[in-house]
Structure 1
Amino acid sequence: MSADAYPQQVFDADVSYIAPSIDPQRGSVEVRLAVPRAPAFLLPDMTVSIDLSVARRENALIVPSDAVRDAATPAPWLFAVEGDRLVRKDVNWASAERAPSRSSRTSARGASLCCPTDGSMRRASACARSSIEMPFEWFVALRYLRDAKGQTALILAAVSVGVSVIVFLSALINGLQVSLIDKTLGSQPHVTLQVQREAARPLVDPSNDRAVARSVQPAPQRLRSIDHWPLVMADAERTAGVVAASPAIVGAGFAVRAEAKNAVVVRGVDPERFLAIIDVRKRLLGGRFDVTEGDAVIGAVLANELGVGVGDKIRITTTEGIDDVVAITGIFSLGNEAVDKTWVITSLRRAQTLYALPDGATSIELKVADVFAAEAVAGELRGRTGLKADSWMKINAELLTGLSAQSSSKSMIQFFVVLAVALGIASVLIVSVVQKSREIGILRAVGTSRGRVLRIFLIQGAVLGLLGSFVGSALGALLSKLFEGLVRGPDGAPKFPVQLDLELFVLATVLALGVGLLAAVLPAHRASRLDPASAIRHG
């Protein structure tokens, strides 16, 4: 470099800045020079002439010195982009060999010239040994997360806490619902088929010369058997969703023991079929479930009020005026006081005798595979058989209302937790876009496409959501188990059971991943739309 006023005086300058793109108005590239040792004759606003000597090699590469890692060690290396992947390349360093020249001795400060090892002018050459490969978008995304360790840790903790709350609440509410349903269905069939109620019949019919003032009173109901009940039961068993069917005679009566006399519900059952509907054997407190010889098993509360135990006998008197003595072979507790206080279970044949219904059955009880499909099965059988079909869902409508309210509250809490997590991820990524705007501008200036920049921030959101789901799922499962063991009933069973299954963890993972991706859409779109020149100049 020389001043026009002093053409014989040559001095050196360093390139301090090279614009990343061509100025569209001037059609030139802005280059700024710095003179570290300015001569005394060099004054402001003086015109200077610059001579550049350019060495060109077809496969040469100029990279920032900061891109070379472990430069002071015997094994320096750098990352290079090959296709869509980031590849680690080992570098061998050698001394520079350049002929002195009167012309400019300018050089790109902080840059390294990489060319083949057989070139005469070189400062570095890249070898072809590749040891680590990573997609470019993944490398940059993980680098951004690693650079902002504090922000990453905070949002990761927020996602983990949010997922743990979702897992804990879902496990607790699902466990309570399953426990309530099990207790409810532990003492009743899913669907019950019975004959229709008898309708009131007119005593006097109106005529042309006689008007009748009607007073309709409900007709008295009597115990009636289902016509051709074996065929009806076989038809019900063939219905989709039905897994078990059992005939029964259910009637009112009294259990008498000495001076004690209690109202009871007598249930005559087929033992094998009945146990497929309600497995009383698992709820026995004493004795065995054996009604084959016309004996009976009774509830624990009834046994206590009558003052009887296994092996004792009681007298059963029915509404038909028929009585009989039965021996008690077992005592059960189904967890329902009304059932434990009234049920007397005996054989179907003994009940047919007690209620004067030879070869009859007053109801057919069904068990279905999906308990929440019971009403649909009942409706189908109601239309096909003409019988009265009641499902447990209709009988326990208030319970279903409570379960529905629990599910609604769970969904509402999950919505606000998800919203808070999404806002947290989005805010952190937006801050990252602002902080990294200069780097994003450089990436765009060197040819990185908008799609790649978009994927960089989407990957960050996905990584935060995925890692948060793993940590949060483990934390939620741990909290659920600790809470389950805090309070237990007299029998040792937890009062607040929790239900943890694979479906819950998969749902939590998918939810966190989806929230992470959706929350990253806005910051990613903003980053991909940055103008390179403005981002570098003002970032």
Structure 2
Amino acid sequence: MIRLLIAIAARHLLARRRQSIVSLLGVVLGVSFFLSISAMMRGSELDIIRRLVDNAPHITIEDQYRNPSRQPVVERFPGAAVQLHHPVPQTEMRGIRGYPQILDFLRRTPGLQASAVLTEQALVTFAGKDRAVSLNGIVANEYTRVSTLQRYMVRGSLDDLAVNPNGIVVGDELARLMSFSLGNNLRVASTTGQVRTFKIVGLFHTGRSDVDARQAFVALKRVQSLLERPNRINTIVIKLADPNAARTEASRIEQRVGYKTVSWQERSEDLMSALAIRSVIMFAVVGAVLVVAAFGIYNVISTVVLEKQRDIAILRAMGFRARDIERMFLAQGVLIGAVGNVFGIGLGCAFMAGLARVHFRIPGSTDPNYLAIDWSPMQFLLAGGVAMLAAMTAAFLPARRAAKVEPVDVLRGGT
């Protein structure tokens, strides 16, 4: 019976070949546009998240508290008749106190790597040229486990900082701007007025000009001495085996250590919200293409139902049930949707391959960028599923109308 219904459905579509081809083309174009745009948007979203996750710490512990501490006078005399206005906190050396104990606690957590960093602004001087940079004091063998910087090294290595305590690693863009190279000496002046000379032992290239021209890395002990902050750091960077657990883990760590602890999701919350809104807009736009194609299917099947009233009545008189008639016209929508899916996915793959070859440059990047395309099976299932749903929905109403045809009325010439 099913084969018979499909055969009759195919004959009906072939009887109106031109209209059926137009509807089929609508599905093909709808599926291909849906697939290519969805894969491009999802690919760019995954690429942004990957850059956030890979090129930045999953969790950062900062040398401040989420809520500022209350002054002792307020704690001691709440609601007192005499109040002290504008109290000035005692001047103290900033930094995370007792950071070795915090690091020991963090490293006992499975699936977690942590490294101490002391970051401050500094001025580098070479051959009469001055540039402001962000000077990062690190422990090289620890920092390589929580950072992807080693992956971007083009000359030298981060491990050279351990071999040469007076070494410095900088970006190749800074080297280009200041006309120095590997092995030259740089004078570095801190905000405390201290000046030290460091030998360039490594160059890195991330492709982001703000990093390559403004970041420098030195051994932690040297930066502590340069900034006159012995045994102090101001940041602990953490890498997790499961980046998606960063928010939960950050909350647990903050409760334990007290210092403000920020996950990558919290740090990029506005961006994640923008990506979610962009996805909704994208699916609404590409879904509209399939809705237009669905109207074409609805028009073809509705026309067939009107033209085949007598044939439907004869089939009912021969013993076909109303449910069989409904299935027959639903099969027309399924046929158009299935064939449209096959050709639409093929055309969509061609679009995706073409988009993947497009390259461009964006502000702040020194390397060409390519459109990220998501080739995961979910994209193909989503495009095919939405197309089939649109085709079956478009065929449903005409199929219901066909199932309600009364054979006696039609055969007697009734309306």
Could you tell me the TM-score, scaled by structure 1's length?
Answer: 0.66
Please state whether the residue corresponding to 1:267 is helix, strand or coil: strand
Partner of 2:404: 529
Pick from 249, 264, 275 the counterpart of residue 118 of structure 2. 249
Please state whether the residue corresponding to 1:297 is helix, strand or coil: strand
Please state whether the residue corresponding to 2:389 is helix, strand or coil: helix
**Mapping of 1:185-334 within 5 angstroms?**
187-197=55-65, 199=69, 201=71, 211-216=82-87, 222-227=93-98, 228-234=101-107, 237-238=109-110, 244-289=113-158, 290-293=160-163, 294=165, 295-319=167-191, 323-334=195-206
1:449-507 deviation per Cα after TM superposition (whole angstroms, max 9, x unaligned) = 22222221222222222221222222122123324434444977444333332211111
Alpha-carbon spacing, 1:492–1:195, altered in 2? closer, same or farther (3 Å): closer
Identity %: 25
CA distance in 1, matches of 2:60, 2:202: 25
1:336-365 deviation per Cα after TM superposition (whole angstroms, max 9, x unaligned) = 333223211233454455456666653322
CA distance in 2, matches of 1:252, 1:201: 30
Note the C-alpha offset of 1:156.
0.9
**Mapping of 1:342-357 within 5 angstroms?**
342-355=214-227
Please state whether the residue corresponding to 1:291 is helix, strand or coil: helix
1:188-211 deviation per Cα after TM superposition (whole angstroms, max 9, x unaligned) = 222211243474746898799983
Is contact 1:441-1:530 (8 Å) kept? yes
Partner of 1:96: none
Note the C-alpha offset of 1:159.
0.7
Is contact 1:200-1:217 (8 Å) kept? no
Return the letter of the residue paired with 2:95.
Answer: R
- Match status 1:470 vs 2:342: yes
Partner of 2:302: 430
Return the letter of the residue paired with 1:521.
Answer: F
Note the C-alpha offset of 1:278.
2.9
CA distance in 2, matches of 1:408, 1:286: 44
Kindly report the root-mean-square deviation, in angstroms, between the aligned alpha carbons of the 2 structures. Answer: 3.3
Note the C-alpha offset of 1:447.
0.8
1:48-105 deviation per Cα after TM superposition (whole angstroms, max 9, x unaligned) = xxxxxxxxxxxxxxxxxxxxxxxxxxxxxxxxxxxx46xxxxxxxxxxxxxxxxxxxx
Partner of 2:4: 136
Is contact 1:193-1:363 (8 Å) kept? yes
Aligned length: 403
Please state whether the residue corresponding to 1:407 is helix, strand or coil: helix
CA distance in 2, matches of 1:165, 1:393: 31
- Match status 1:496 vs 2:364: no
CA distance in 1, matches of 2:69, 2:351: 57
Alpha-carbon spacing, 1:396–1:464, altered in 2? closer, same or farther (3 Å): same
CA distance in 1, matches of 2:91, 2:266: 24
Alpha-carbon spacing, 1:213–1:363, altered in 2? closer, same or farther (3 Å): closer
Is contact 2:106-2:113 (8 Å) kept? no
Please state whether the residue corresponding to 1:331 is helix, strand or coil: strand
Structure with the greater alpha carbon radius of gyration: 1
Partner of 1:520: 395
> Which has the higher mean CA deviation after the structures are superposed, 422-431 or 503-512?
422-431
Return the letter of the residue paired with 1:164.
Answer: S
Alpha-carbon spacing, 1:206–1:445, altered in 2? closer, same or farther (3 Å): closer
- Match status 1:394 vs 2:263: no
1:94-141 deviation per Cα after TM superposition (whole angstroms, max 9, x unaligned) = xxxxxxxxxxxxxxxxxxxxxxxxxxxxxxxxxxxxxxxxx3322222
Partner of 2:14: 146
Please state whether the residue corresponding to 2:134 is helix, strand or coil: strand
- Match status 1:165 vs 2:41: no
Unaligned runs of 5+ in 1: 1-83, 86-134
Alpha-carbon spacing, 1:375–1:487, altered in 2? closer, same or farther (3 Å): same
Alpha-carbon spacing, 1:387–1:535, altered in 2? closer, same or farther (3 Å): farther
Alpha-carbon spacing, 1:377–1:428, altered in 2? closer, same or farther (3 Å): farther
Is contact 1:194-1:226 (8 Å) kept? no
CA distance in 2, matches of 1:185, 1:209: 49
Unaligned runs of 5+ in 2: none
Please state whether the residue corresponding to 1:154 is helix, strand or coil: helix
CA distance in 2, matches of 1:188, 1:426: 51
Return the letter of the residue paired with 2:284.
Answer: M
Alpha-carbon spacing, 1:357–1:216, altered in 2? closer, same or farther (3 Å): closer
Alpha-carbon spacing, 1:455–1:527, altered in 2? closer, same or farther (3 Å): same
Note the C-alpha offset of 1:388.
0.8
Please state whether the residue corresponding to 2:170 is helix, strand or coil: strand
1:372-413 deviation per Cα after TM superposition (whole angstroms, max 9, x unaligned) = 664444334333443311233433445335433422320220
Task: Judging by fraction of residues, say which structure has more strand.
Answer: 1
Return the letter of the residue paired with 2:86.
Answer: S
CA distance in 2, matches of 1:416, 1:221: 61
Note the C-alpha offset of 1:157.
0.5
Alpha-carbon spacing, 1:184–1:140, altered in 2? closer, same or farther (3 Å): same
Is contact 1:200-1:218 (8 Å) kept? no
**Greater RCO between the two (CA within 8 Å, min separation 6)?**
2
Could you tell me the TM-score, scaled by structure 2's length?
Answer: 0.83
